[in-house]
Every structure is written in C-alpha cells, then in structure tokens.
Amino acid sequence: MTEVVAKMMSLWPEIALGVGAVLCLMLGLWPSAQVRRQTVWLAGASIIVAGVLAYMKGISPRFASPDATVGFGLTMTLFIKVATAVIGFLLLLVAAQLPDSHPQIAAADLPSGGITPSKTDPAIIFRGEFFAFFLLSLAGVMLVAEADDLVWLFLALELVSLPTYVMVAISRSKSVAQEAAVKYFFLGALAVAIFLYGFTLIYGATGVTRFADIRQFASMYPPR
C-alpha cells in the first residue's frame, strides 16, 4: 500500500462529511419544502457515518498503528475524529432547533418595495447551506487531527474557520449577526497572519514542512 493510497484511506470520514455537505446543498435547493426539511437528517447521517468510519479504522487490524492509544483502543488522531463526530452530532441537534437554520417568513424579513419573496425560496424556508457549512467545518476539525504537514495544517484550519464565518452571518436580517461576522472575520484574518508568520519561521529555520522532519531536525539541536 503506497503512502498516497494509505493517506486517502485514512480520509474516509472527511470524504463522508464532504459528500454529505454537497448533498445538503443540493437538497436545500429542492423545489419541494418537504424534501428540504430532510436536510438536517442527511447532515446527521453524514456525521454518524463519519464517526463510524473513524472508529472502524481504529479497531481494524489492517490499519494497526504503532502509536500509543488514548482510549477505546484508538490513537489520538482517530480518538479526536470520533469525539468530533459525537460532539458535532450533539451540536447538530441544537442547531436544528435554531430559527436561523430554517427561518419562517415573517413581516420583518420581507424586503422593502412591496416585493414578496416566493414561498418556495429555499433561502427563506430552509437554509440547507447552514448544515452544509457545518459539515465542512467538522471535516476541517478532523483534517487538523490528521495533519502531518504545516501546509496541510494551515489548509485544515482554514476549512474550519471559513464556514463558521458564513454560519455566523447567515442571519442576514439581524444586525447583531452581521456585526459578529465582521468582527470574527477580522479576528480570523489576524490569527491567520500570526499562524503564517510562525510557519514561515519554522520553515526558514528547518527547510521542511513535515512534522516528522521538523522533529528530527529539532532533535539534532537539543536545548542547552
């Protein structure tokens, strides 16, 4: 089994969440409101599948790892993935009850000028993109746990943060949500700049980006 194939096999939970996010986007645009209401169930099923895949990989002898286990016979990476799936499912149960994830048409939400939105508008009846971005953010958390390279870690962190900007600002009719999204965006941009500065310092000192190579380089120069 080559390194690329082995790495792809370890990303099945993230692939399941990515596929679920795409399906949630498609389902959120369905003409039938009854079908759009199933988006939350699809998101929940995607999280369960991702958690099961992570756990099955952890207990499978085919993917046995010499790394020390931290609980339930799982390595730290797989334990974080399973914990992410469990916590994500619980958060989904809470998010499914939020009016912002599936708002109803209200007089205050109607646009000015006497224009009445269509009752079949998925952006008004049910926001499937909310759950799609939620799944993408969870996939980013799992990719952070799987990261073994500085570039991979940076991209995974961006996949965690960028969807959350949209989820914060999804209540477009609320000025508080818009203000929070703008503040969150600038704070995230500052954090990204600090991360990149630190990554460039590490790469400039070591000339490598893989964590194993960085650890090997650091072992050659023990602290005095």
Q: pLDDT for 19-33, tens place per residue?
A: 999 999 998 888 877
| Amino acid 159: pLDDT | 94
Give residue 2's pLDDT band: very low, low, confident or very high (50, 70, 90). low
| Amino acid 75: pLDDT | 80
Residue 185 lies in a domain: yes
| Amino acid 65: pLDDT | 57
Q: pLDDT for 121-171, tens place per residue?
A: 444 445 788 899 999 999 999 999 988 899 999 999 999 999 998 888 887
Q: What are phi and psi of 133, to 5 degrees?
A: -65, -30
* Higher pLDDT among residues 214 and 223, named by residue: 214
Q: Over 70: is that where the pLDDT of 90 sits?
A: yes
- Convert the chain into a string of H (helix), E (strand) and C (coil): CCHHHHHHHCCHHHHHHHHHHHHHHHHHCCCCHHHHCCHHHHHHHHHHHHHHHHHHHHHCHHHCCCCCEEECCEEHHHHHHHHHHHHHHHHHHHHCCCCCCCCCCCHHHCCCCCCCCCCCCHHHHCCHHHHHHHHHHHHHHHHHHHCCEHHHHHHHHHHHHHHHHHHHHCCCCCHHHHHHHHHHHHHHHHHHHHHHHHHHHHHHHHCCCEHHHHHHHHHCCCCC
Residue 107 lies in a domain: yes
Say if pTM beats, i.e. exceeds, 0.85: no
Structure token pair of residue 83? 């914990």
Domain extent for 109: 3-219
Residue 19 lies in a domain: yes
How many CB atoms within 10 Å of residue 178? Answer: 14
Residue 110 lies in a domain: yes
- The number of distinct structural domains making up the chain is 1
Q: What are phi and psi of 104, to 5 degrees?
A: -100, 155
Residue 20 lies in a domain: yes
* Higher pLDDT among residues 34 and 136, named by residue: 136
Of 83, 87, 61, 60, nearest to 71 by C-alpha is 83
- CA-derived radius of gyration, the chain: 21
Give residue 221's pLDDT band: very low, low, confident or very high (50, 70, 90). confident
Q: pLDDT for 45-78, tens place per residue?
A: 999 999 999 888 766 655 555 555 666 567 888 8
| Amino acid 116: pLDDT | 46
Q: Over 80: is that where the pLDDT of 206 sits?
A: yes
Residue 224 lies in a domain: no
Residue position matching structure tokens 């969870």? 138
Structure token pair of residue 10? 């370890």
